[in-house]
Amino acid sequence: MLRKGPEQVPDSWLVFLFALIMMQFASFVAATLINLGEDYSHLLTLITNVLGLGIYAAILFVSGFIRRFVPIVSAILACGSILTLLFVAAYVLSESIPWRQHSGHRCHAHYYLVGTR
């Protein structure tokens, strides 16, 4: 069941667009909830993600697989987004453990999700 080849990944621009939106959402959530500081720019995240797409495209072009750009990058972005959201969830949950609260530092996620200080 899980042993599928790369030809099984859908070559769909809709899936690619969904993966891009999911990546931006995951990046925004991670940057916002983990509190990267007031001077943090979400535009920097967008630029970094676009540069990453460019690097993926360059690697696929050099290796001769540019025609597989949409399915390959869709899979990479979707998996990376899911992992990012899981890491954010783990960070939020670890901030609510009592032994971690003695330092006085708590992330914005705890305020947003739990509502206590």
What is the reported pLDDT for 98? 62
**What's the sign of the alpha-carbon dihedral 111, 39, 41, 103?**
negative
What is the reported pLDDT for 43? 84
What is this structure's pTM?
A: 0.70
Burial of 8: CB neighbours in 10 Å, binned 0-12, 13-18, 19+? exposed
Q: Output the six-digit token pair for 66.
A: 């540019």
Name the strand (E) or helix (H) holding 3: none
Each residue's pLDDT tens digit, 13-65: 888 999 999 999 998 888 877 666 667 777 888 898 899 999 999 999 999 99
pLDDT at 104 over 80: no
Domains of the chain, by residue range, sit at 10-88
Q: Choose between 117 and 80: higher pLDDT.
A: 80
Each residue's pLDDT tens digit, 73-99: 998 999 999 999 998 888 878 776 665
